[in-house]
Amino acid sequence: MELKMDRAALSDFLRREFQQVNDDFMIEEVAPMRVRVRLLAHERHLRPGGTVSGPAMFALADVAIYLAVLAMVGPKGLAVTTNCSIDFMRKPASGVDVIADARLHKLGRVLAVGDALLYSDGMAPPVARAGLTYSIPPDRA
Amino acid sequence: MELKMDRAALSDFLRREFQQVNDDFMIEEVAPMRVRVRLLAHERHLRPGGTVSGPAMFALADVAIYLAVLAMVGPKGLAVTTNCSIDFMRKPASGVDVIADARLHKLGRVLAVGDALLYSDGMAPPVARAGLTYSIPPDRA
Amino acid sequence: MELKMDRAALSDFLRREFQQVNDDFMIEEVAPMRVRVRLLAHERHLRPGGTVSGPAMFALADVAIYLAVLAMVGPKGLAVTTNCSIDFMRKPASGVDVIADARLHKLGRVLAVGDALLYSDGMAPPVARAGLTYSIPPDRA
Amino acid sequence: MELKMDRAALSDFLRREFQQVNDDFMIEEVAPMRVRVRLLAHERHLRPGGTVSGPAMFALADVAIYLAVLAMVGPKGLAVTTNCSIDFMRKPASGVDVIADARLHKLGRVLAVGDALLYSDGMAPPVARAGLTYSIPPDRA
């Protein structure tokens, strides 16, 4: 399996197609069936106390798996999230970025399934884990 | 079972404690083990095409169950989400609010479990469903 | 929406195609997008203490949504579970049947999504809740 | 972190406390926060076509995380599953065992969270993945 989009191509795509969230995320690494994405801890992602909010962590896991799918199938067609199950395990460190290590476990004709571990930058134990399913539209050929 | 916080008390609490998200949500109904909450479709919640984003729907389901818990246990202690499983079933209608109908199924000593159906305002079939678990801190007594 | 298979047709199907689990389940009610299925509390479903096991409750939720899909699309094609998220909320009553009230929220071209509440027979609060997604094979036409 | 129960101790525990499922499972490896457990593909776990059933895979993921928790906290107290989200990704190979590689990501005072990848013996891509939460009773001290 080889990449259809590398880090530069995915970063361009994010900038062009998702202007609203583009400065929230930074793609750090892209490999076959794997990506690492950073959520930049802007004020708007923080809860009282300065920790990154649940919805912001959900958004990070979601975009990470989305990018892992795009890296493999290319920019055609619009994959949509059909399911996410997320476990919030620890309070993130205050005011620091959160990083998602995401893997795809399945890339089928109609469904892609992956999971992600989320870490507060500089903290060893993960703060959250998520499993996601994406539906891949048939017209991606 | 009776309410420890009614609609006015919950709305005050949201305004006071969650200033960052306060103008995103409007509490519409509160009953024992049930709430109805509206996500106001601001520009920042929309994806290209004008539909409410996945993270915004996650945030709505999350706040709805949180408010349902607070309604029953009162404002003391800080419940935290431990798990959410969400199914995105249909594309929301463009540019309209999304409404969550949330129920608690369990309100235990340490865990509360509920679920929510999310609807685009004016559209009959639900756009998403979510099940959530909250951990309730011991000091709430 | 009308039924393609009623209670008798579904019960026949279960008996014919799933001999291994057939005497575990009894279909109690079938309506458009809804079924009620009973798990008969045989010895093999019980944990020490006499309560129905987690895997047996999973199996019940799974078969209930499966039957709800078949009721709507008919016996052709083989739907397969792609995701289940289940919350175990209370200890079931000892030695009694467990009943699933299942609803479909979406019946799409490729995916069906439903959820179920599970009750110990004669006990009001639910013992578990589950959300399930089924993939429907294209050849069902 | 060190083990409170090793492979022999866990196998004994399983044999003694879970006679009903004992000959279904074989513990293959135990390490801090990790276990590998094999589901022996008995007739009763198979679906038509000879593949291991969904409920049997759920049971395997469930027991694997349970054993990973026991390995760390010891045999006192009875941990109970509170949530499982499982993705079925591929059809298992016909008639062969399924193996779960399970990890704990959190072992807290009241909750433990882990996940597992499930493989058909001899097949590289995983057939399922699951995330589970266990509630740990307070009396385990």
At C63-112, the pLDDT tens digits run 999 999 999 999 866 789 999 999 999 999 999 999 999 999 999 989 99
Q: Do the Cβ atoms of C115 and B113 come within 8 Å? A: no
User: Radius of gyration over alpha carbons of chain D, in Å?
Assistant: 14
Per-residue confidence at B140, pLDDT binned at 50, 70, 90?
very low
Two tokens, residue A111: 């469904």
Residue C105: other Cβ atoms inside 10 A: 19
Instruction: Tell me the per-residue pLDDT of A38-77, one tens digit each, with 9 for 90 and over.
Output: 999 988 888 877 889 999 999 999 999 999 999 999 986 6
Reported as half-sphere exposure (CB side, CA atoms, 13 A), residue A121 has a value of 15
User: Does position B42 have pLDDT exceeding 60, yes or no?
Assistant: yes
User: Does position C140 have pLDDT exceeding 50, yes or no?
Assistant: no
Cβ pair C33, C39 in contact under 8 A: no
Model-level ipTM above the cut of 0.90: yes
Q: Alpha carbon of B133 to those of B67, B86, C37, C66: distances in Å?
A: 13, 12, 25, 25
Apex C62 CA angle, D113 and C85, nearest 5: 25
Q: Do the Cβ atoms of B55 and A58 come within 8 Å? A: yes
Dihedral sign (CA D3, D6, D12, D14) = positive
Q: What distance in Å separates the CA atoms of residue D105 and residue C120, rounded to the nearest whole number?
A: 32
Residue of C82, C86, C87 to mutate when probing chain A, most A C-beta within 10 A: C82
What is residue B77's predicted lDDT score, i.e. its pLDDT?
63
Query: Taking the C-alpha atoms of B84, B88, B91 and B93 in order, what is their torsion angle to the nearest 10 degrees?
Result: -40
Q: Does A52 touch chain B (CB under 8 A)?
A: no
Q: Does D91 touch chain A (CB under 8 A)?
A: no
Q: Does B46 touch chain A (CB under 8 A)?
A: yes
Among D104, D116, D130, D121, smallest CA distance to D39 is for D121
Query: Taking the C-alpha atoms of D117, D121, D122 and D127 in order, what is their torsion angle to the nearest 10 degrees?
Result: -40
Q: Do the Cβ atoms of B89 and C113 come within 8 Å? A: yes
D44 vs C20, C56, C84: nearest CB: C20
Q: Do the Cβ atoms of B85 and A87 come within 8 Å? A: no
Percent of residues, chain D, with pLDDT higher than 70: 96
Residue of C nearest to B133 (CA): C87
A54 vs B17, B54, B81: nearest CB: B81
Q: Alpha carbon of B101 to those of B39, B120, D122: distances in Å?
A: 12, 11, 46
Contacts of C85 in chain A (CB under 8 A): 83, 85
User: Does position B48 have pLDDT exceeding 90, yes or no?
Assistant: no
Q: What distance in Å separates the CA atoms of residue C87 and residue C71, rounded to the nearest whole number?
A: 25
Residue of C111, C129, C140 to mutate when probing chain A, most A C-beta within 10 A: C111
User: Does position C141 have pLDDT exceeding 80, yes or no?
Assistant: no
Q: Does B57 touch chain A (CB under 8 A)?
A: no
Among A60, A97, A95, A101, smallest CA distance to A81 is for A60
Q: Do the Cβ atoms of B84 and A85 come within 8 Å? A: yes
Cβ pair C131, B117 in contact under 8 A: no
What is residue C35's predicted lDDT score, i.e. its pLDDT?
98
Residue of B nearest to A16 (CA): B48
Residue D7: other Cβ atoms inside 10 A: 17
Cβ pair A110, C135 in contact under 8 A: yes
Q: What distance in Å separates the CA atoms of residue A114 and residue A72, rounded to the nearest whole number?
A: 13
Residue D126: other Cβ atoms inside 10 A: 21
Contacts of D125 in chain A (CB under 8 A): 105-106
Residue of A39, A45, A51, A58 to mutate when probing chain B, most B C-beta within 10 A: A58
CA B57 from centroid of its chain's CA atoms: 9
D39-43: average pLDDT: 89
User: Does position B1 have pLDDT exceeding 90, yes or no?
Assistant: no
What is residue D141's predicted lDDT score, i.e. its pLDDT?
41
A87 vs B17, B54, B83: nearest CB: B83
Q: Alpha carbon of B35 to those of B71, B133, C102: distances in Å?
A: 9, 16, 22
C113 vs B87, B108, B131: nearest CB: B87
Instruction: Tell me the per-residue pLDDT of B80-110, one tens digit each, with 9 for 90 and over.
Output: 999 999 999 999 999 999 999 999 999 998 9
Using a 10 angstrom Cβ sphere, with 0-12 exposed, 13-18 middle and 19 or more buried, the burial of residue C9 is middle
Q: Does C84 touch chain B (CB under 8 A)?
A: no
User: Does position D82 have pLDDT exceeding 50, yes or no?
Assistant: yes
Two tokens, residue B86: 């969400």
What is residue A42's predicted lDDT score, i.e. its pLDDT?
85
Q: Does B53 touch chain D (CB under 8 A)?
A: no
User: Does position D133 have pLDDT exceeding 90, yes or no?
Assistant: yes
The owner of tokens 């509490």 is B27
The owner of tokens 């009001």 is C124
Chains adjacent to D (≥3 CB pairs closer than 8 angstroms) = A, B, C
Q: Does A113 touch chain D (CB under 8 A)?
A: yes
Work out the minimum CA distance from A102 to partner chain C, whole angstroms: 19
Query: What global pTM score does this model have?
Result: 0.95
Report chain B's mean pLDDT, rounded to a whole number.
92
Q: What distance in Å separates the CA atoms of residue B6 and residue A69, rounded to the nearest whole number?
A: 44
Q: Does A83 touch chain C (CB under 8 A)?
A: yes
User: Does position D31 have pLDDT exceeding 80, yes or no?
Assistant: yes
Q: Do the Cβ atoms of B89 and C126 come within 8 Å? A: no
What is residue B44's predicted lDDT score, i.e. its pLDDT?
80
Work out the minimum CA distance from A108 to partner chain D, whole angstroms: 9
Cβ pair D114, D62 in contact under 8 A: no
Q: Do the Cβ atoms of C133 and A82 come within 8 Å? A: yes
List domains and CATH numbers for chain A.
Answer: 7-135 (3.10.129.10)
Report chain C's mean pLDDT, rounded to a whole number.
92
